[in-house]
Amino acid sequence: MRVLIAPDCFGGTLTAREAADAIATGWREAKPDDVVVERPLADGGPGFVDVLHAALDGDIRYVTVTGPLGKPVEARWLSVRADGRRVAYIESAEACGLHLIPAELRPESCETATTRGVGELIAAAAIDNDVITVGLGGSGTTDGGAGMLDAMADSDLTDISLVAASDVENPLLGPHGAARTFGPQKGASPEAVERLEAKLAAMDVLKPVSDVPGAGAAGGLGAALLSLGATVRSGAGLVRELTGLDAALDDADVVVTGEGSFDWQSLRGKLITAVAGGAAERGLPCVAIAGQVSVGRREMGAAGVQEAYSVSDHVGSVQKSIADARKSLIATAQHVARQWST
């Protein structure tokens, strides 16, 4: 049997590449005769640069930028030559990610965290690239891209194509907007959420694009990129194309995907649904392994996922699953292999 392993990252515990390796290890231990192919994925959030670097012949560049708390952080971006053009892939979370903000500081930083470092990354990439693709996701910011725009005030993007890679469809404002949907995840209290909403609504530069799907991505960073003329592409779709996922699907008998939490947000165009959709197009069974699963059978079935397995349920608790994330994922993958390998 040919098994395709194509997960996203598992929250703050395992990168997509680490998760793919753990699942593949568990599967091979349980079913050593199966052919296992790993295709770690990302949708524009954490892991975007790592996943593309593994698939493309490009160079990783390093630059020190302003982190979300105003302190210097080292960030990476990927430079690739394709079709006679130089293309830069930037992961916004490298400069303004939630993982860069200690949990105890988030209730305060949720209103002050800046995207300035993202602008500095774009400015650096603009020097010798024709296309700049910015992966959105995993941010600790809700500044509407104000920091990014300020850092890019002197940058010339006239001859550069700007792309926002994201699968978030939320607008900038309203009940499904950047502040009210994602603010609480970044430490914002109900009062702070309303202050953030008001601040975003007052940003004149964002008003023309505030209702565009994806404007609310990364705390409004999507809207700021749209205001600069960026086009929006599905992050999962882009990674699917560049990593050769479709060719791997063509050769598979069963597909295994996964992420940290398989929940309602997973069904709103995120990576799991992209993988499951590709499997469904080929009549392949697709199963998911996640740290936690809160999606019902009917909902996951509609998305193309036949079965979902919770790592925390398999090992006994969330705490146990996090204490040794790799070991827990390997054990769960062994169980799944015994269920699905014929």
CATH (domain of 167): 3.90.1510.10
The domain in which residue 13 lies consists of 2-41+243-340
Distance (Å, whole) CA 48 – CA 92: 9
Could you tell me if 215 and 93 lie in one domain? yes
pLDDT tens digits in sequence order for the chain, 342 residues long: 999 999 999 977 899 999 999 999 999 999 999 999 999 999 888 899 999 998 998 999 999 999 999 999 999 999 999 889 999 999 999 999 999 999 999 999 999 999 999 999 999 999 999 999 999 999 999 999 999 999 999 888 999 999 999 988 999 999 999 999 999 999 999 999 999 999 999 999 999 999 999 999 999 999 999 999 999 999 988 998 999 999 999 999 999 999 998 887 777 656 888 899 999 999 999 999 999 999 888 989 888 999 999 999 999 999 999 999 999 999 999 999 999 997
Inter-axis angle of helices 235-242 and 271-281, nearest 10: 50
Could you tell me if 261 and 210 lie in one domain? no
- List, in sequence order, every beta strand (DSSP E) within the chain: 2-5, 35-38, 58-66, 72-82, 85-91, 131-135, 161-165, 231-233, 254-262, 286-293, 307-310
Count CB atoms within 10 A of the CB of residue 250.
12
Could you tell me if 232 and 250 lie in one domain? no
Query: Phi and psi for 144 in degrees, rounded to 5?
Result: 65, 20
Torsion sign (Cα): 334, 299, 165, 197? negative
The percent of residues above 90 in pLDDT, for the chain, comes to 85
Q: Which of these three, 179, 204, 236, is where a domain ends?
A: 236
Could you tell me if 225 and 316 lie in one domain? no
Share the mean pLDDT of the chain: 94
Tens digit of each residue's pLDDT (9 = 90 or more) over 12-37: 789 999 999 999 999 999 999 999 99
- Report the CATH number at residue 330: 3.40.50.10350
Could you tell me if 171 and 68 lie in one domain? yes
Q: Which of 2, 200, 194, 3 is nearest to 115 (CA)?
A: 200
Q: Which of these three, 203, 236, 269, is where a domain ends?
A: 236
Give the per-residue pLDDT at 222: 98
